[in-house]
Amino acid sequence: MNIVALSKRLLPRRFSDRRSLHRINDAFVETVFSGRKPILGFSGRSFHHLRKAGSFVVPRVFFVSSRLRNLSTNASSSKQPAFLRWYLRKLESHPFITKSITTSLIYMAADLTSQMITMQPSESFDLIRTARMASFGLIFLGPSQHLWFSYLSRILPKRDVLTTFKKIMMGQVLFGPCSNTVFYSYNAALQGENSDEILARLKRDLLPTLKNGLMYWPVCDFVTFKYVPVHLQPLMNSSCAYIWTIYLTYMANQTKADS
């Protein structure tokens, strides 16, 4: 016998139908979450009377109310800053372009920071170099991160420690070498280097970059894969990439390698 049928036998007649039980449940939820006085003539004494009918104890909340979920969702979202709420809505409605633009802006900021660290007082910002970095984030890295993290979440949906290490290993073996190879090749091509010069640059710079990445990215990836929701993982990855890109843009804009 379910709780509704049993309550019809044990509760007073005016509370015996399903509609009344829903009204009781909604009244209780509104009372708890809004801080208002009980409504529908629903006092603490009468509620205690409803909970205990003979030797049978009726649960405090009869049904899982959608109003409870809506109240908790609205309460949590109202505490978020307006910009964060706007950004999360964009991630939901236009995930591909939002992640691409975010990555582009982070790469642009990282390159400007890198230039500030290395340039002499008499020098000025190389905005063409910054545009190259921003375009790489927009055209290549942002879209590839979106596809990569979505793919990993499909083939490895769990978030336990073993699965997290599998994702980290795949990132170090597949995604990292591919993205760094494309980065160096793309940047060198836009600087006018030919194929032989690009290959010489890769031989000189790619392996040291991957070695240094082994000391930085596994920690960032562990936090990303273990604790960050899938739709925010590219943002977390790009945020970690801000520090990494300061080093990466410095490496990418060194003098040509001897071919």
Q: Looking at the DSSP assignment, which residues form a beta bridge with residue 53? A: 56
152-159 contacts, C-beta under 8 A, 24 or more apart: 152/225, 153/230, 159/225, 159/226
Tokens of 174: 């597949």
Q: Is 254 left (phi over 0), alpha (psi -120 to 50) or beta?
A: beta
Closest CA to 21 of 64, 55, 57: 64
Cα angle, residue 176 at apex, residues 173 and 180 outer, rounded to 5°: 135
Query: Which pLDDT value is given to residue 23?
Result: 61
Query: Which pLDDT value is given to residue 251?
Result: 78
Average pLDDT score, the chain? 77
> Residue 43: pLDDT band by 50, 70, 90 thresholds?
very low
Q: Which of 49-58, 167-176, 177-186 has the lowest mean pLDDT?
A: 49-58
> Where do the structural domains in the chain lie, given as residue ranges?
3-78, 82-252
* Residue 18: pLDDT over 80: no
Closest CA to 140 of 76, 183, 190, 77: 183
State the Cα–Cα distance between residues 33 and 21, nearest whole angstrom.
18
* Residue 12: pLDDT over 60: no
Q: Which of 27-31, 121-125, 155-159, 251-255 has the lowest mean pLDDT?
A: 27-31
pTM greater than 0.85: no
* Residue 232: pLDDT over 60: yes
Query: Which pLDDT value is given to residue 100?
Result: 93
Query: Which pLDDT value is given to residue 122?
Result: 85
State the Cα–Cα distance between residues 89 and 73, nearest whole angstrom.
14
Tens digit of pLDDT for each residue in 90-145? Answer: 888 999 999 999 999 999 998 899 889 888 888 899 999 999 999 999 999 999 99
